Structure 1
Amino acid sequence: MLGKEVFIINKADTKSILITGCAGFIGFHLSKRLLEEGLQIVGIDNINDYYDRWLKFDRLDLLKQYESINFVNGSIDNMDLLMELFEQNDFDLVINLAAQAGVRYSLENPGSYIQSNLVGFANILECCKNHQIKHLLYASSSSVYGNNKKTPSSINDRVDHPISLYAATKKSNELMAHSYSHTFNLPTTGLRFFTVYGPWGRPDMALFKFANSIINGNPIEVYNYGNMKRDFTYIDDVIESIVRIIKNGPPTDSSSYYKLYNIGNHSPVNLNYFIETLEKQLGTKANIQYMPMVPGEVLETYADIDQLVHDIQYSPSTSIEEGIAKFVEWFKEYKKIN
């Protein structure tokens, strides 16, 4: 097993880091990790109501315990605000995790995806270009692979057929980043996340949503009759991967200054087994309502992480059993469940 030791960023390597979406699931964990290492963080988040805002406030309360964070309540689609932030701070690293998330919600509210994921990301790119940022990391998604038949999914595969607007915006982000890397020599690294889960996770995602419903005695809806697989990736593995990518530094190939990584566990789990594992940890059976497939969902995600392992000498490897156990421990404490 590769690289279970913790990797530390040398504070001399970076002066100030901008993390967008710092009150979100991944943004919170990454901010906390970097703050623990004594780095200076400027975090921005608009605390929207896509899911429970109190969960975001609780994450922020933990981050605000550190003196080296400056939090800004705002949106990345506000160019005036971003320009002011870049003018006032000497960023040499920008990590864009702000986005409108969720596949199904893109069917109901497409405008929010255009505004945040496209307009907002274009603003980030412009500010990074104008201030000669040394490295821009940004969140992409496994959803860009759509229903590609080839598995595991490789960063070299063609991803021309997204099956949701959310996936289309994430693929657009990669194309936009590539154009800025090529035209303006802006070093960019895209992170294709594969179903990230764990403590402080998103209530709209399966693990949190199912746990809530099971504990409250409500039915859970399982799409495609449970015949789906997901490459569930534990949050600590995701954060360690990002930290190592930061430490490795920006892409240095003068032909593009552009990089992509899959960040996944390289071990797809059947949805029915996922539910069984959650039931065991909660000590309660789920009332399952099997449903047909819904538009925008994919049958399987499975990450080829060869390039990631080669470059950072680390392989995400937390088992689904261990990861769900850690989530349930946090969930019961957070929800005050005996």
Structure 2
Amino acid sequence: MNYKPLDSNKVYLITGAAGFIGYFLSRKLLEQGCQVIGVDNLNDYYDVNLKYARLEQLKPYEKFTFIKGDISDKTMITRVFEEYKPNVVVNLAAQAGVRYSIENPDVYIQSNIIGFFNILEACRHHPVEHLVYASSSSVYGSNKKVPFEETDFVDHPVSLYASTKKSNELMAHTYSHLYNIPATGLRFFTVYGPMGRPDMAYFGFTDKYFAGEPIKIFNNGDFENDLYRDFTYIDDIIEGIERIIGKPPADSVPHSVYNIGNNNPEKLMVFIETLERVISNTLGQKVVFKKIFEPIKPGDVPATYASTDFLQQAVGFKPATLIEEGLQKFANWYVKYYGVKGKH
């Protein structure tokens, strides 16, 4: 669907610019001639080489400025706002991962709560046209009603990560109310694709296969009541963000929240079979993962399934990339990037 490109005369601050979504969004804006200020702390939650590889691809763009820093560093954030005077802020910097939050709670409070507070304070003292920030489908917790709608009750998060994301929505709403900051939260649903996050299941499964190791599937081997996930391809996420950037909320409290998901949940086992098939296509030989079935982990939810009606009404767009197509692009990238070969 055609839509108006963003204003290339504006300054876009993207935190988490070396991350998966941050990198693709930065590249998309730079391709349109926008000035992008990227901030990232380049932490080692997953392979830092991948973050550097993403940054390498952004370096050739003259209008890209990279600042290594942590959003929990208030002095640094204040300085960036004072120096570059961003018109639009997209806050994608966050400590990600549900399971990791059980083992390392401190970093989630530091990045997702204190860091986001610093962004809000900076937007308060240096007004912006729009603050877009990453929330998460995890805020829906173990809600049984599907598809998940933005109007659903989300006061029962089942992981600290989810709690921090729900807190972000509350904090942003408060700042929008008090200081009239136009802000939009985006609840992302299982984002995947080339140059993605190695801590995500599809990437980990592929790693395990090439290492000759079995994959662990946390569904008790229960194929009837399998886990469902709304897998959303990276290009769809980027188009959604881009459209949202150009549509700041204008209500009396200018704060909105939207789901960005595929609105088409897949059983985890179907996803795994598709991944086996696309890697087979890339290698030109049959690929079957060795599988170990284990109980569902604490903090995991049985199903994520997004209603995208609000998003469609607001910006005329809904994600539509099929997993077969998206995973094929991932498999082709993975084999080339890591230089792996099939088994003989």
2:168 maps to 1:170: no
2:329 maps to 1:329: no
TM-score (norm 2): 0.95
Secondary structure of the residue aligned to 2:39 is strand
Per-residue deviation, 1:120: 0.3
Per-residue deviation, 1:80: 0.5
Per-residue deviation, 1:7: 5.0
Secondary structure of the residue aligned to 2:13 is strand
Aligned to 2:274: 277
Determine the C-alpha separation between the residues in 1 that align with 2:33 and 2:181. Answer: 26
2:234 maps to 1:244: no
Counterpart selection for 2:314 from 290, 311, 314:
311
Which residue identity is paired with 2:33?
Answer: G
Per-residue deviation, 1:225: 2.8
Per-residue deviation, 1:67: 0.7
Determine the C-alpha separation between the residues in 2 that align with 1:94 and 1:141. Answer: 18
Per-residue deviation, 1:102: 0.2
Number of aligned residue pairs: give it.
Answer: 331
> Could you list the runs of 5+ residues in structure 1 that have no partner in the other structure?
none
2:290 maps to 1:287: yes
2:14 maps to 1:19: yes
Deviations 1:64-116 (A, max 9, x none): 11110110000000001011111111211000000000000001100000000
Aligned to 1:160: 155
Aligned to 1:39: 34
Deviations 1:246-295 (A, max 9, x none): 122x11112x1000000000000000011101111122100100000110
Which residue identity is paired with 2:276?
Answer: E
2:227 maps to 1:228: yes
RMSD of Structure 2 on Structure 1 (CA): 1.0
TM-score (norm 1): 0.96
Secondary structure of the residue aligned to 1:47 is coil
Secondary structure of the residue aligned to 1:225 is coil
Determine the C-alpha separation between the residues in 2 that align with 1:10 and 1:97. Answer: 20
Determine the C-alpha separation between the residues in 1 that align with 2:8 and 2:173. Answer: 29
Quick check: 315-324 or 220-229, which moved more? 220-229
2:192 maps to 1:194: no
Determine the C-alpha separation between the residues in 1 that align with 2:77 and 2:246. Answer: 25
Per-residue deviation, 1:214: 1.1
Determine the C-alpha separation between the residues in 2 that align with 1:118 and 1:189. Answer: 17
Deviations 1:215-259 (A, max 9, x none): 2211111002352010000000000011111122x11112x1000
Secondary structure of the residue aligned to 2:98 is coil
Per-residue deviation, 1:6: 6.3
2:43 maps to 1:48: yes
Aligned to 1:110: 105
Determine the C-alpha separation between the residues in 1 that align with 2:198 and 2:316. Answer: 32
Determine if contact 1:220/1:287 at 8 Å carries over to the other structure: yes
> Could you list the runs of 5+ residues in structure 2 that have no partner in the other structure?
281-286
